[in-house]
Amino acid sequence: MDLIISLVINGLATGMLIFLLAAGLTLIFGLMDVLNFAHGGLFVWGAYTGVFTYTLTESFLIGIVAAILTGMILGFLMEKLIITPVYGNHVQQILITLGSMLVLQEMIKVAFGPNAIPVSVPDYLAGSWELGEVILIKYRLFIIIVGLIVFGIFHYILTRTKIGLIVRAGVMNKEMVQALGINIKKVFLFVFMTGAALAAIGGMLMAPYSGSIYAEMGMEFAILGFIVVVIGGMGSFSGSLFAAVLVGLAGSFMAYYVPSLSLAVNMILMAIVLIFRPQGLFKMAKG
Amino acid sequence: MEPIIRTKNLSIQFGGHKAVDRVNFEMPEKHFKSIIGPNGAGKTTFFNLLSGELKPTEGDVFFRGHSLAKKSSVDRTRMGLGRSFQITNVFPSLTVLENVRLAVQSKEKVRFQFLKHYLHYKKITAEAIAILDQVLLSNKQDAVASQLSHGEKRKLEIAMLLALDTEVLLLDEPTAGMSLEEVPAILEVIRQIKARGDKTILLIEHKMDMILDLSDSIMVLFNGKLLADGTPTEIMNNETVQNAYLGGLYDGELVETS
């Protein structure tokens, strides 16, 4: 039983990290119809600038704030300079965002050096609680809680605010939103910056979790993000949480019980979803 | 009085086909004009030219004397020229209330208010409910739009158009595809909008009884050309129109006029 609980917590924590990455990805795709292959670059930049600030100030919290700011600034620049010229053209989007991904990744090596940087969990989040047989690692619980808070905040924004209503309507039918006279370009920028900030938070939280950061981690994690977007349904925010948790749990259990399958399990999950429900588990009806 | 909307030699050509051919028309404020004409006469194309969905190949549209040549459809909506959609075009997974609220709030600029003002938000919701009352749809406000009947969806479209609060309403066949039982409700909705007297309304419709009941004036399009424009009585007594359209309609076939 204690083993199962550990595996569940482990899976949930990984799932939340993937969710932070996938949430932005799915909204950007759903609303703006943009496939952003550079999303992993935002993740890794969040991790590096966050850790850099964390090391400098010795405050994990300020590190997270730095990661968010980095995400928003990079998101702003990317939307304005790179994404705006290629709206509506998928091939160009793939080429330029994939190129941006490589540039962002290599720039990390230029700025912070090519070697992996070790990161430790802040003191107050280090260690674990023991409940009888079960060992609860504090930092993993922390990640789960942050993930749930982020989900709660964005769920609130999406369902209870004006801009959220525009985003949800835009995912369904952005032409109609424009026909109503709403300046959806501004909303695009907001969503892109928010998505970038979420990815950056994910990167920063990932850092102490995996113990070290390296430039290629963005690319590796972005693939999981894409799998989650496909499973959850492109454009579905709740779907991305569900799918991320599913992928996290599947990875966690497989790694323990069938290690040889642990890398393939995500692909298998995605294949099953694509065969039986190609629109994803939570896909909304398009207008 | 200066016409609120006016066209000058408005034309559009698709290949060799002139879908709208040098139409000159104007209408004063708070006027109710219907556009009739057989299928393919260019009525919807004419609407698309007014709303900016299509760009004219010749001529121009004027709104309160200002040329709309360089204005997008979004600009035109902002200026006060609102168009309903012929194709049922609401947001399927949003509730009825959310659909209307989106239209209500679209009058405002997009601002990044993450923490919205609670009272203001309430005001938008109240306004949306009031509009749903007007179109007799408030009993369905929490239903998801995709589950509405066809007639209810058309009502929702009108509600969204009303929520935009434009001075001019372009209504493109609001009863199209409706069952006979649903038509009177829409008619009543339009009649009430007219009765409030603050809108200029341009209506495309096939149902003559409805047109004669509502219109201050009627214009007839035929093969893209403006055939006649006048009061309902004038139009009904106009021989060319009778030959071209009314007669043809009731006989079930069109009679070409020379």
State the pTM of this model.
0.79
- pLDDT(B62) > 90: yes
Q: What does the pLDDT read at residue B12? A: 94
Residues of B (111-140) whose Cβ lies below 8 Å from A = 112-114, 116, 121, 124
Cβ separation of A285 and B146 shorter than 8 Å?
yes
What does residue A251 show for φ and ψ, rounded to 5 degrees? -60, -45
CA A98 to chain B, closest CA, distance in angstroms equals 29
Q: What does the pLDDT read at residue A172? A: 84
- pLDDT(B39) > 90: no
Cβ separation of A161 and B121 shorter than 8 Å?
yes
- CATH code, A2-276: 1.10.3470
Instruction: Count how many pairs of residues, chain A against chain B, have C-beta atoms within 8 Å.
Output: 79
Q: What does the pLDDT read at residue B109? A: 67
CA B168 to chain A, closest CA, distance in angstroms equals 14
What does residue A193 show for φ and ψ, rounded to 5 degrees? -65, -40
B89-142 pLDDT, tens digit per residue, is: 688 888 999 999 988 888 776 665 555 566 777 888 899 999 999 888 889 999
Burial class (CB in 10 A: 0-12, 13-18, 19+), A130: exposed
Whether chain A has a CB inside 8 Å of the CB on B95: the answer is no
Cβ separation of B94 and A168 shorter than 8 Å?
yes
Annotate A194-228 with three-state secondary structure: HHHHHHHHHHHHHHHHHCEECCCHHHHHHHHHHHH
Architecture of the domain made up of B1-80+170-177+200-258: 3-Layer(aba) Sandwich (3.40)
Cβ separation of B116 and A162 shorter than 8 Å?
yes
Region B188-214 average pLDDT: 91
Whether chain A has a CB inside 8 Å of the CB on B79: the answer is no
Where in A154-248 does DSSP place strands (E)? 212-213
B61 three-state secondary structure: strand
Whether chain A has a CB inside 8 Å of the CB on B105: the answer is yes
User: In this structure, what DSSP letter does residue A284 have?
Assistant: P
Burial class (CB in 10 A: 0-12, 13-18, 19+), B252: exposed
Q: Please, where in chain B does CATH 3.40.50.300 lie?
A: 1-80+170-177+200-258
- pLDDT(B247) > 80: no
Chain A hits for B95, Cβ within 8 Å: none
Residue numbers of chain A with a pLDDT score lower than 50: 285-287
The chain A residues in contact with chain B (CB within 8 A) are 157, 161-163, 165-166, 168-169, 172-173, 176-183, 186-187, 190, 284-287
The owner of tokens 């209330």 is B97
Q: Are B235 and B220 in contact (CB under 8 A)?
A: yes
Beta carbons within 10 angstroms of residue B193's beta carbon: 21
HSE (side-chain half, CA atoms, 13 Å) at B102: 33
Cβ separation of B110 and A163 shorter than 8 Å?
yes
Q: What is the dihedral of CA B68, A287, B118, B160, to 10 degrees?
A: 50
The residue type at B95: T
Chain A residue nearest residue B146, CA to CA: A285
CA B160 – CA B142 distance, rounded (Å): 15
CA A99 – CA A212 distance, rounded (Å): 25
User: Which of B190, B181, B141, B188 has the alpha carbon at shortest distance from B161?
Assistant: B190
Indicate the residue of A169, A190, A285 with minimum beta-carbon distance to B102: A169
- pLDDT(B1) > 80: no
The owner of tokens 């509730």 is B95
Indicate the residue of B106, B112, B113 with minimum beta-carbon distance to A180: B106
The residue type at B126: A
Whether chain A has a CB inside 8 Å of the CB on B215: the answer is no
Q: Are A283 and A275 in contact (CB under 8 A)?
A: no
- pLDDT(B237) > 90: no
Best B77, B85, B93 residue to mutate vs chain A (most A CBs within 10 Å): B93
Annotate B84-135 with three-state secondary structure: CCCCCCCCCCCEHHHHHHHHHHCCCCCCCCCCCCHHHHHHHHHHHHHHHHHC
Whether chain A has a CB inside 8 Å of the CB on B106: the answer is yes
Containing H/E element for B9?
strand B5-14
Average model confidence (pLDDT) for chain B? Answer: 85
B195 three-state secondary structure: helix
Q: Are B77 and B164 in contact (CB under 8 A)?
A: yes
Chain B hits for A186, Cβ within 8 Å: 110
Beta carbons within 10 angstroms of residue A258's beta carbon: 11
Cβ separation of A287 and B160 shorter than 8 Å?
no
The residue type at A209: Y
Best B84, B85, B91 residue to mutate vs chain A (most A CBs within 10 Å): B91
Q: What does the pLDDT read at residue A176? A: 81
User: Which of A12, A32, A9 has the alpha carbon at shortest distance from A20?
Assistant: A12
First to last CA, chain B: 35
ipTM for the assembly = 0.74
The owner of tokens 């009825």 is B96
Residues of B (148-167) whose Cβ lies below 8 Å from A = 160, 164
Extract the tokens encoding B110. Answer: 């997009």
The residue type at A223: I
Q: What does the pLDDT read at residue B116? A: 56
Q: What does the pLDDT read at residue B251? A: 45
Chain B hits for A172, Cβ within 8 Å: 91-94
Beta carbons within 10 angstroms of residue B6's beta carbon: 18
Cβ separation of A182 and B110 shorter than 8 Å?
yes
Q: Are B168 and B80 in contact (CB under 8 A)?
A: yes
User: In this structure, what DSSP letter does residue A183 have?
Assistant: -
User: Which of A109, A71, A40 has the alpha carbon at shortest distance from A194?
Assistant: A71
Extract the tokens encoding B229. Answer: 């424009």
Q: Are A63 and A54 in contact (CB under 8 A)?
A: yes
Q: What does the pLDDT read at residue B112? A: 57
CA B216 – CA B194 distance, rounded (Å): 10
User: In this structure, what DSSP letter does residue B53 have?
Assistant: S
CA A112 to chain B, closest CA, distance in angstroms equals 34
- pLDDT(B58) > 50: yes
CA B126 – CA B118 distance, rounded (Å): 12
Q: In what order do the strands lie in the sheet containing B81-83?
A: B81-83, B168-172, B200-204, B32-36, B217-222, B225-230
Chain B hits for A177, Cβ within 8 Å: 102, 106
Cβ separation of B109 and A162 shorter than 8 Å?
no
- pLDDT(B255) > 60: no
CA B121 – CA A159 distance, rounded (Å): 13
